[in-house]
Structure 1
Amino acid sequence: MQNMGDVPGTRKRSRVGKIVALVAVLAVAGLGGTFAAVGPLQAAPIGSEATTAVRSQPGTAFPVVKPATTVTTPVAGAKEVNPAAPVTVTVTNGTLDNASLRSSSGQNVDGTLNPEKTVWTSSGQLAFNSTYTLSYTSLDSAGRTSTATSTFATVATANEADAAMYPLDGMSVGVAQPIQLTFSEPVKNKKAVEKAITVTSTSGQAGAFHWFSDTMVRYRPESFWAANSTITVKMDLFGVDLGNGQIGNFSKTNTVHIGDKRTAVADAQAHTFTAYINDQPVHTWPATLGDTRFPSARGYLVLMEKQRKAHFVAASIGLKPGDPANYGELDVEYATRLTPSGEFIHQATDTAMPYLGQINVSHGCIGLGPDGASWVFNNMTAGDVVQIINTQGDFANFDDGFGDWNIPWAQYANS
């Protein structure tokens, strides 16, 4: 009798049988997914369709891992990016391993990663007219990493907008001084600018903005500032869109100190000038104001600057040689400016001195004797106010000094 182990083909069939049995066991165990049926003598070679089906069919042994995807703000290649806008990189289906933001000049910008490690956000301030590169590495759940960079540029210098405030920071002024902001570029988004500026007073007074032009706005309360109060002006203008692509380039806080309430009343009919401190009269002097051809401006005029000696030129107010009112050029003492156009409180000239308290002979200025003119010069300051009454003159133009108090509050607060 032949040994079965010697029968040709028997050994091969046994090996095939073991393979089929192993496949059956794996299929029952749920390992390897679904297998193609393979007959006893038809084992599929590696690379066949059956083997491919085993390796590509999703299952517990071969889970599908979605790749991590990232989105940056601003997008790569962006131009004219607002330097106040936060820079972010956000990852989906993964986490951020690291992120950094650096300018082309080598300045690093701080940033923070959220607790889930899915969003990095810049916290440092960017500069105008600069190029930045955002570098980051993401990690998916399978442990695969991906590193990328994104470059963008901020708003160019030509689109920066600046502003100057008067009074200057720390300055002491009188109760009638409005807060004035003059912008380097026209402001179209006025409400956005107003929202970015907060004005507070230790007196608790509320106020309102009034736009005199696209580049100049003022702020005042309904009545004069409270004596000996402090005004704080917080200007959060960095990154504010002024309109037409112009972006504010600074944020700062200024303080202004208000002194005693120093006021005066100049009466063109009575020819007097009366000074008050904290609403109490302290002096009354004889005065001469503008004559019928050059009447003094009416209403409230806010003191601006002082000159111990001032040089006046008649041609600056349109007077020409041959005009009876032409005084040529002359120097005056103790000059306190009321308007940029040339109205002052000053010591009367020698020729006008005899007319003090009698008639009006000036070209619009308030002429006083040496005592009165020197007292005003030494005791009153910028922001104090003179009210001129009983004059035939009109109110000074808004851009000729600070005529804000001549505008009714309802009109002022709704500009």
Structure 2
Amino acid sequence: MEPVVKPRRRGTAKKILLVAAVCVLAATGGVFAVAPGFARGGLESEASSAVRSAPGVASPVVAPVKVDVTPANAAKQVNPAMPVSLKVGNGRIESVTLTSTAGEVVHGTFAGDGSSWTATDPLKFNTEYSYTYVVTDGAGRDTSTTNSFSTVSSTHEADAAIYPLDGMKVGVGQPLQVIFSEPVVNRDAVEKAIKITSSAGQAGAFHWFSDTMVRYRPEAFWAANSTVTMDMQLFGVDLGNGQIANFNKKVTVNFGDKRVAIADAAAHTFTLSVNDQVVKTLPVSMGDQRFPSARGYAVLMEKNRYDHFRAASIGLKPGDPAYYGEVDVEYAIRLTLSGAYIHQALESAYPFIGNTNVSHGCIGFAPDGAAWVFDNMTTGDVVQIINTEGDYAAVDDGYGDWNIPWAEYNN
């Protein structure tokens, strides 16, 4: 007998295929994009899927690498102290090459996970740099990029002269001095970048004498036989008006015994004390009525065994009764920039030493007295001039710091 064949219902094959597809998905745990008409029910769309599919191929969805570079590409007038850095998100840094146009390599270090790179070598002023970096995304694809920038030009580079010099031994009256090559607007930034420490624990204060010159001293003289260190981390400090400091420097200054002399214009004497003990009193002749010696404290600036004085340097001309032309002097120690000295008096003044003031403002000694002072006092030592009709010298005419009241100096 012939077998009975039941008629097939329409749509049965399509349902079987759909069920089979769902079974495969359930077995593999994957989600694939399907043709239109099949993305129905519990199937996820391509936009929400962890993978995308091309015809016959599946590839991961990869977030783009985020790159943060400092300085920016094509940046100009970059401060050489600015850290050159590269940071990435959603990826990894494979390599970085940073060089100047002269071929000098700037080295750097990577973070352990490859997410950042930072230059460790300092940059230079007035220099162009280029840097190439390679980053890898989550799919392992590399991208190479080359950028460039240039640093602050020489016209905006500021230097400074520092005194005392490193390792010098000076007297206890010597202020620390920095003279900048360019005007300073950001004074607070400069002061914060200079750390001063004293072996005696003395604190001090900065005082600006001009927009280029700053000094530092304690309230009283530096402690005898102490050491002071001035650590200046000024490289890259913005002085204002686009001027950038170009140096770091550490200076150690050694102070000797406390040597303070008192020059008495009325008594015509010069008395030196060492560590507050009087050691010598010598006769002198000081400034006359027309040229009285300046009162107050003066700090010895420099010593010259021989020097040459010119009357014209203090405004004297031929025909003036005080005109002395040009003369050679011995044992000269400068007290002010304007021309006040300790020195051996001219022979014509010898009869007046110890009894009459006949100088042009200097402190004159007999030969043996001048030689003794020259041998026993040094730069940074102090002379206090008293009982004179002269006014104070300008505070920046030499080191007039000690003639400024502390409340005013420390302001």
Question: TM (normalized to structure 1)?
Answer: 0.89
Q: Secondary structure at the match of 2:316?
A: coil
Q: Distance in 2 between matches of 1:201 and 1:57?
A: 69
- Check whether the contact 2:165–2:253 (CA below 8 A) recurs between aligned residues: yes
Structure 2: how far apart are the matches of 1:163 and 1:64?
A: 57
Match of residue 201, structure 2, among 204, 208, 211:
204
Task: Judge conservation of contact 2:259–2:274 (CA < 8 Å) in 1.
Answer: yes
Alignment partner of 1:281 is 2:268: no
**1:59 aligned partner, one-letter code:** S
**C-alpha distance in structure 2 between counterparts of 1:341 and 1:334, whole Å:** 18
Q: What is the 5 A alignment of 1:30-69?
A: 31-33=30-32, 35-36=34-35, 56-62=46-52, 63-69=60-66
2:32–2:46: 8 Å Cα contact kept in structure 1? Answer: no
2:139 equivalent in structure 1: 142
Q: 72, 78, 81: which one pairs with 2:78?
A: 81
One-letter code aligned to 2:391: D
Residue 330 (str. 1) matches residue 327 (str. 2) = yes
Q: Which residue of 2 aligns with 1:111?
A: 108
Contact 1:200 1:231 in 2 (8 A): yes
Give aligned pairs, total.
396
Q: Separation in 2 of the partners of 1:315 and 1:247?
A: 40
The residue aligned with 2:57 is none
**5+ residue gaps in structure 1?**
4-9, 40-48
- Where 1:316 maps in the other structure, the secondary structure is helix
SS in 1 for 2:131: strand
Aligned partner of residue 165 in structure 1, secondary structure:
strand
Q: 2:267 aligns with which of 267, 270, 275?
A: 270
Q: 3-state SS of the aligned residue for 1:320?
A: coil
TM-aligned CA deviation for residue 96 of structure 1: 1.7
* Matched residue, 1:361: 358
What is residue 338 of structure 2 aligned with on the other side? 341
2:294 aligned to which of 293, 297, 300: 297
Gaps of 5+ in 2: 53-59
Distance 2:256 2:96 in 1: 53
Structure 1's 237 and 38: CA in aligned 2 closer, same or farther, altered over 3 A?
A: closer
Task: Give the conservation status (yes or no) of the 8 Å contact 1:287–1:366.
Answer: yes
Aligned to 1:316: 313
What code does the residue aligned with 2:300 have? L
Aligned partners of 1:321, 1:409: CA distance in 2, in Å? 43
Opposite residue 286 of structure 1, the aligned amino acid is: P
The residue type paired with residue 243 of structure 1 is: G
1:165 aligns with 2:155: no
User: Structure 1 residues 61, 75: CA separation in 2 closer, same or farther (over 3 Å shift)?
Assistant: closer
2:33, 2:45 within 8 Å by CA — same for their partners in 1? no
Q: Distance in 2 between matches of 1:37 and 1:240?
A: 65
Distance across 2 between alignment mates of 1:73 and 1:291: 67
Deviation at 1:206, TM superposition (A): 0.7
CA deviation vs aligned residue, 1:360-409 (integer Å, no higher than 9, x gap): 11110111111211111111111011100000111111221100000001
Where 2:139 maps in the other structure, the secondary structure is coil
Distance in 1 separating the partners of 2:161 and 2:36: 85
59-68 or 337-346, which deviates more: 59-68
In structure 2, what is the Cα distance between the partners aligned to 1:275 and 1:356? 17
Q: Is the CA contact 2:107–2:120 (under 8 Å) kept in the aligned structure 1?
A: yes
Q: Contact 2:301–2:379 (CA<8 Å) still a contact in 1?
A: yes
Give yes or no for the alignment of 1:184 onto 2:181.
Answer: yes
Residues in 1 aligned to 2:36 and 2:250: alpha-carbon distance in whole angstroms: 81
Contact 2:395 2:403 (8 Å CA) reproduced: no
Q: How far apart, CA to CA, are the structure 2 residues paired with 1:393 and 1:247?
A: 42
CA distance in 2, matches of 1:17, 1:212: 96
In the superposition, the TM-score normalised over structure 2's length comes to 0.90
1:260 counterpart residue number = 257
C-alpha distance in structure 2 between counterparts of 1:26 and 1:232, whole Å: 79
Q: CA deviation at 1:216?
A: 0.5
Closer/same/farther in 2, CA of residues 377 and 57 from structure 1, 3 Å limit: closer
1:54–1:206 Cα change, 3 Å: closer
AA at the equivalent of 1:327: Y
Sort the Cα spacing of 1:17 and 1:336 in 2 relative to 1 into closer, same or farther, 3 A.
closer
Deviation at 1:237, TM superposition (A): 0.6
Cα distance in 1 between the residues matched to 2:215 and 2:352: 39
1:69 deviates by: 2.0
How far apart in 1 are the matches of 2:265 and 2:256?
A: 28
Deviation string for 1:103-162 (max 9, x for gaps)?
222222121222332121112111111111222122222222222122111111111110
Give aligned-pair identity as a percent: 58
